[in-house]
């Protein structure tokens, strides 16, 4: 098996996500499909462009896995065309590679001119995506240097820097770390802030540090690469495929089946994988009752109780002080932006509709945010930096509520600029009094650009909710709205705790 720091580099444009972070997936259902197609191509004696690419990938991956020491090449370039590939098929290449190489590397865009081998392998007439594989040498070179306040380590093509206090604090020895509970034993407050190792050595796989008190710390080099700031900067916290309506339609994402969903963990895992990748997922065949809807939600998380209750069941009777309780059209928005921590997951189930209209609008906010980032980085930065208020004031019947949530429109991880949450609700946006006067105009310009992207027709996915079809929405990512409607429309649903959804996904082996 090749070393853990095998790298895959992206060349050119990936239509479903320019900076795509490919998800870990179960390859048990992927390999047979690839093998069957390759075998069919062999039997017919003719390779179609798609089967040519697939069989080529298989030969590369299987050969590398079974006889890595016999490889006489240092680079293999694989070309994939998007002509007859949907995002699911594209995504499946990377999990397949992970299954063979135990990939802990990263994706990095490089120019087409860096892959001259591609044109000699396969010709295409349409937009293409290339994956370049650079095999790591069997004897991995590792260079290190002790600097005044940190250790500089070069490994697997990555130059990393580790503060000495960090290296002592993260020691995984039995006295410093409980491997059974995965908790730290070491009291960090007792670590000398000016500590420096007295001895350092490296073998093929590990770094050894001896500290002034004689304690020895051992780090696996791959673990350091994976957990370094430099490594995290090039990695995604949560894999996703950002989409517009065409990308999602071409992906042909299947819905989960109620019976299998409730009894089969594989069906649950498939559902959660889709949810994590796209921010939406469906379960069909659910009995059209509030009770069954609650049951299906409890398969993935806990219901988050709010001032709306646990399970809500409403019509257009304006029983609450919210536009949602009318027959009016609703523009795209995220819910509970007026919470300090907006609800993570939203569930909708249309139990009855005796009338016309009422389609549900879905828009991937991450896709639109990425468009702003690519076109006007300064606007993206402003929306990610400046906090604003959202407010909900209710004085209807017996309901008295006043909620205020504060945060930027775009919430990003500062080390890799990855968006993890969007607060976008023009209905509930409060008075803007958290922005200096000389920044306000620029904020409106940035907000207008994001709104323009969100409202482009090609970014809108319209879905007609019907009895039996339950929709799960990532409320930190995907905005929802609806068109106006006539007649009686009864909807039920709830909010779910986000942490519990991610917890179940991780317990099933998904990256979340």
Which among 342, 436, 344 has a CA at the least distance from the CA of 387? 436
Q: What is the 3-state secondary structure (H, E, C) of 53-84?
A: HHHHHHHHHHHHHHCHHHCCCCEEEEEEECCC
Strand order in the sheet with 150-155: 142-146, 150-155, 158-163
Which among 424, 417, 430 has a CA at the least distance from the CA of 479? 424
Which among 444, 447, 442 has a CA at the least distance from the CA of 409? 447
**What residues does 143 pair with on adjacent strands?**
154
pLDDT digits (tens, 9 = 90+) for 120-161: 332 333 332 222 323 333 335 789 999 999 999 999 889 999
Q: How many residues does the chain have?
A: 512
Residues 104/2, Cβ–Cβ less than 8 Å: no
Secondary structure class of 443 (helix, strand, coil): helix
Residues 408/385, Cβ–Cβ less than 8 Å: yes
416, two tokens: 């890799």
Which DSSP symbol is given to 313?
Answer: E
Q: What is the 3-state secondary structure (H, E, C) of 71-122?
A: CCCCEEEEEEECCCCCHHHHHHHHHHHHHHHCCCCCCCEECHHHCCHHHHHC
Q: What angle do CA 106, 112, 117 make, to 5 degrees?
A: 95
pLDDT at position 366: 98
Residues 490/354, Cβ–Cβ less than 8 Å: no
pLDDT at position 193: 97
With b for 16 or more beta-carbon neighbours within 10 A and e for fewer, the 393-413 pattern comes to eeeeeeeeeebebebbbbbbe
119-124, Cβ contacts within 8 angstroms, sequence gap of 24 or more: 121/56, 121/77, 121/79, 122/49, 122/52, 122/53, 122/56, 122/79, 124/49, 124/79, 124/81, 124/83
How many CB atoms lie under 10 A from the CB of residue 429? 18
pLDDT at position 317: 55
Mean pLDDT, consecutive 10-residue stretches, the chain (512 aa), reads 34 33 34 36 37 38 36 30 40 41 34 34 30 34 92 94 98 96 96 96 95 97 96 91 97 97 97 98 97 96 93 69 74 96 97 92 98 98 97 87 96 96 96 96 98 98 96 98 91 96 96 92
49: CB partners within 8 A, 6+ apart:
81, 83, 84, 122, 124
Residues 76/70, Cβ–Cβ less than 8 Å: no
Phi then psi dihedrals of residue 57, to 5 deg: -60, -45
**What residues does 75 pair with on adjacent strands?**
134
Q: What are the percentages of helix, strand and coil residues in the chain, rounded to 5?
A: 35, 30, 40
């Amino acid at each position: 098996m090749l070393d853990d720091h095998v790298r895959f580099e992206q060349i050119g444009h990936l239509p479903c996500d320019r900076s795509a972070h490919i998800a870990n997936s179960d390859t048990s259902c992927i390999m047979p499909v690839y093998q069957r197609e390759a075998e069919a191509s062999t039997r017919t004696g003719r390779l179609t462009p798609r089967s040519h690419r697939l069989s080529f990938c298989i030969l590369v991956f299987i050969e590398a896995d079974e006889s890595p020491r016999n490889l006489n090449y240092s680079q293999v370039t694989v070309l994939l065309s998007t002509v007859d590939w949907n995002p699911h098929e594209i995504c499946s290449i990377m999990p397949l590679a992970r299954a063979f190489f135990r990939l802990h590397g990263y994706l990095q865009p490089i120019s087409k001119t860096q892959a001259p081998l591609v044109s000699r392998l396969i010709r295409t007439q349409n937009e293409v995506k290339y994956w370049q594989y650079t095999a790591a040498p069997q004897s991995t070179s590792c260079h290190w240097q002790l600097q005044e306040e940190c250790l500089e380590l070069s490994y697997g093509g990555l130059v990393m820097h580790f503060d000495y206090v960090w290296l002592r604090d993260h020691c995984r020895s039995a006295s410093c770390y409980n491997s059974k509970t995965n908790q730290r034993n070491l009291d960090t407050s007792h670590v000398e802030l000016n500590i420096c190792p007295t001895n350092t050595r490296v073998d093929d796989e590990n770094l050894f540090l001896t500290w002034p008190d004689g304690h020895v710390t051992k780090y696996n080099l791959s673990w350091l690469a994976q957990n370094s700031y430099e490594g995290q900067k090039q990695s995604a916290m949560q894999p996703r495929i950002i989409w517009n309506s065409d990308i999602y339609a071409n992906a042909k994402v299947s819905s989960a089946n109620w019976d299998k969903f409730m009894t089969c963990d594989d069906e649950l895992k498939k559902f959660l994988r889709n949810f994590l990748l796209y921010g939406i997922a469906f379960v069909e065949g659910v009995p059209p009752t509030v009770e069954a809807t609650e049951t299906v939600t409890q398969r993935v998380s806990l219901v988050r109780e709010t001032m709306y209750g646990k399970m809500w069941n409403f019509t257009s009777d304006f029983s609450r002080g919210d536009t949602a309780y009318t027959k009016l059209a609703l523009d795209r928005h995220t819910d509970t932006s007026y919470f300090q921590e907006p609800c993570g997951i939203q569930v909708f189930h249309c139990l009855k509709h005796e009338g016309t209209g009422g389609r549900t609008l879905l828009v991937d906010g991450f896709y639109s945010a990425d468009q702003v980032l690519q076109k006007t980085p300064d606007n993206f930065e402003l929306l990610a930096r400046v906090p604003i208020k959202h407010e909900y004031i209710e004085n209807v019947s017996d309901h008295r509520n006043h909620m205020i949530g504060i945060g930027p429109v775009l919430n990003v991880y500062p080390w890799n600029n990855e968006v993890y949450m969007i607060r976008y609700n023009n209905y509930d946006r409060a008075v803007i009094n958290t922005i200096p006067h000389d920044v306000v105009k620029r904020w409106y310009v940035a907000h207008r650009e994001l709104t323009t992207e969100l409202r482009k027709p090609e970014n809108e996915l319209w879905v007609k909710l019907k009895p039996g079809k339950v929709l799960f929405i990532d409320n930190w990512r995907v905005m929802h709205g609806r068109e106006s409607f006539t007649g009686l429309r009864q909807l039920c649903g709830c909010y779910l705790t986000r942490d519990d959804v991610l917890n179940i996904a991780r317990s099933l082996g998904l990256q979340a």
